Amino acid sequence: MKKILIILVVLLLLGGGGGGYYYYFILLPEQEAMAEPAAPPPPDTRFVELQSLRIPVMRNGAVINYVSMDISLEVLGPDNEELARSLLPRVRNAFLTDLLVYFAVVPVEDRILVKAIKRRLLILCNRVLGQGVVDDVLIQNAFKQT
């Protein structure tokens, strides 16, 4: 009986060792070879910050309150950053002009529609700076002041 028990334990150890060898040295290398290639490196994202914008909200020819926003432009690469910084006064002027008209029409008593403003500003950036220079417009703070 003792011999059968010893033989059984030895066979279990050999089977476990063989299974471990098969898993770690045969199956894993095949799975790693079949795995997807590594993702490409992240793009060189840079941020160009504008001065805070303070837009008056006009109703019937009078200012009823102000909307303040902190805006940054997300650009890819140093060339686009340099172009955006050099044309920043034009971008700021386009933003102020468009948002002045926008807030004269859209009610801001309830809330500020940040997604709509973000889309408008991205379209303006593409007009002023050219397509593909600005990847995204980030609005950090948007609130109304009375």
- pLDDT (tens digit per residue) in 131-143: 989 999 999 888 8
Structural domain boundaries in the chain: 1-35, 45-145
Question: What sign does the CA torsion over 128, 129, 132, 138 have?
Answer: negative
**CATH 1.10.3470 corresponds to the domain 45-145:** no
Splitting the chain (146 residues) into consecutive groups of 10 residues, what average pLDDT does each group show?
Answer: 84 82 78 70 88 90 90 93 94 95 86 91 94 92 85
Global pTM?
0.70
Amino acid (1-letter code) at residue 6: I
